[in-house]
């Protein structure tokens, strides 16, 4: 019995969510008295792969086929199944992101394994294999048991703090043969997200909604974010109206983020928006309507006009930062 974890490789590098995933898999393996092996697909050099050892996965299987540099769910699933067979994996883990959401269900269906998607806890193995996951857009939790021999999990990113330790991983090449059918659906083009702080990785997020009135007022959001070293986000109607790019849209139909601090400015707090942000450690809401539903989810609230309060908050933040130096 061992644990296999699919680690997404982005142009030969790993993101914070991959280290979190490696650490999650290593902890599960340790609790089960076994080891975790990472699976890396596509071009990646040894130096990058050795980093995974600092998060507890000391072994890496590497399928170096360059066709895997772009996501092809069927080919990825084939590689995962081959790696799982090689090490006799009984727990297979992926991230609850674009890659994991498309690959993990294929793997589970193929090997007839039970699957839990969007896990936010370690499995409780005291009576079965029970994992906590968000349901109803993050309004509630479900505790789900997998009873099949092999189990598949996807972990919701930002569920655990990432802590690097000592250790390096050793990589071994795994040969998997693919045919054209495995690449029936491929990514043709990727538009990279620009911005100082990637939203999915950000610890601090400043987010704006329709209360900002229009894109011409977004400077106050960007200024505050720049002062704080935060990423910017927005509600869906803001992205739908092309005030902001769609990759900034958070919520049920957008990104799910769990930063340490989420500042929501001129956002009503509809349930579909909260679904993407209610895992944030601290929520600050600025809204002129004291009845705005977001205040119920907030740790701190300011009732006031965003166009007045936000620049003042920025000035206060600048003074606070200056006093720290
Ligand atoms: C199937 C489905 C999926 C959806 N998915 C998402 C999703 O993923 N993400 C998402 O965000 N939404 C989603 N929505 C839309 C969601 O229901 C809300 O309509 C949306 O979140 C509202 O965005 P908003 O708060 O920016 O705008 P509004 O609802 O218009 O709220 C604007 C807020 O700004 C406040 N305000 C106005 N002027 C000021 C001012 N000067 N200063 C301070 N505050 C001010 C108002 O009091 C109000 O609370 C979805 C809806 C459906 C049906």
Domain ranges across the chain: 2-183, 199-324
Closest ligand 1 atom number to CA of residue 286: 43
* Residue with CA nearest ligand 1 atom 6: 272
210 CA from centroid of ligand 1 (Å): 6
Exposure on the CB side of residue 216, measured as CA atoms within 13 A: 1
pLDDT band with cut points at 50, 70 and 90 for residue 194: low
Residue pLDDT, tens place only, 257-268: 889 999 999 999
Q: Tell me, yes or no, if the pTM score tops 0.85.
A: no
Q: How far apart are CA 317 and CA 290, in angstroms?
A: 24
Burial of residue 137 (number of CB atoms within 10 Å: 0-12, 13-18, 19+): middle
Ligand 1 binding pocket includes 272 (Cβ within 6 Å)? yes
Domain at 2-183, CATH from 3.20.20.80, 3.30.2310.20, 3.40.50.720, 3.40.50.620: 3.40.50.620
Helix (H) or strand (E) holding 263: strand 261-265
* Percentage above 70 pLDDT, the chain: 98
Q: How far is the CA of 272 from the centre of ligand 1 (A)?
A: 9
Q: Which two tokens stand for residue 93?
A: 């883990």
Q: Whose CA is nearest to atom 49 of ligand 1?
A: 268
Distance 298 CA to ligand 1 centre (A): 15
Tell me which of 206, 268, 294, 296 to substitute to probe ligand 1's pocket, judged by most ligand atoms within 8 Å of the beta carbon: 268
pLDDT in tens, 206-238: 999 999 999 999 999 999 999 999 999 999 999
Domain 199-324 has CATH 3.40.630.30: no
Q: Are the C-beta atoms of residues 104 and 116 closer than 8 Å to each other?
A: no
Q: How many residues does the chain have?
A: 325
CB distance 217 to ligand 1 below 6 Å = no
Evaluate whether 221 touches 206 at the Cβ level (below 8 Å): yes
What is the pLDDT at residue 317? Answer: 96
Whether 191 shows a pLDDT value over 80: the answer reads: no
Tell me whether domains 2-183 and 199-324 share a fold: yes
- CB of 89 sitting under 6 A from ligand 1: no
């Amino acid at each position: 019995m061992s644990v296999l974890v699919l680690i997404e490789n982005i142009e030969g590098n790993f993101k914070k969510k991959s280290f979190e995933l490696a650490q999650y898999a290593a902890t599960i393996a340790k609790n089960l008295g076994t080891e975790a092996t990472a699976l890396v697909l596509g071009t990646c050099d040894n130096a990058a792969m050795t980093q995974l050892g600092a998060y507890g996965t000391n072994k890496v299987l590497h399928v170096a086929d360059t066709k895997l540099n772009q996501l092809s769910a069927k080919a990825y699933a084939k590689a995962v199944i081959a790696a799982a067979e090689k090490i006799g994996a009984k727990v297979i883990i992926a991230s609850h992101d674009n890659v994991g959401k498309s690959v993990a269900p294929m793997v589970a269906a193929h090997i007839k394994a039970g699957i839990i998607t969007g896990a936010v806890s370690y499995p409780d193995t005291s009576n079965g294999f029970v994992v906590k996951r968000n349901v109803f857009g993050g309004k509630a939790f479900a505790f789900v048991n997998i009873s099949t021999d092999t189990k598949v999990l996807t972990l919701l990113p930002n569920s655990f703090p990432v802590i690097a330790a000592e250790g390096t991983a050793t990589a071994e090449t795994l040969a998997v043969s693919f045919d054209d059918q495995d690449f029936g659906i491929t990514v043709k083009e990727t538009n990279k997200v620009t911005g100082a702080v990637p939203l999915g990785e950000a610890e601090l997020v400043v987010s704006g909604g329709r209360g900002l009135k229009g894109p011409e007022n977004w400077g106050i959001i960007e200024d505050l974010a720049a002062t704080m070293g935060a990423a910017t986000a927005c509600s869906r109607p803001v992205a739908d109206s092309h005030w902001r790019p769609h990759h900034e849209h958070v919520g049920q139909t957008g990104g799910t983020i769990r930063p340490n601090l989420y500042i929501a400015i001129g956002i009503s707090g509809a349930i579909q928006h909260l679904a993407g942000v209610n895992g944030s450690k601290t929520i600050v809401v600025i809204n002129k309507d004291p009845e705005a539903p977001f205040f119920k989810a907030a740790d701190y609230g300011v009732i006031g006009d965003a166009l007045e309060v936000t620049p003042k908050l920025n000035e206060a933040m600048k003074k606070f930062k200056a006093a720290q130096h």
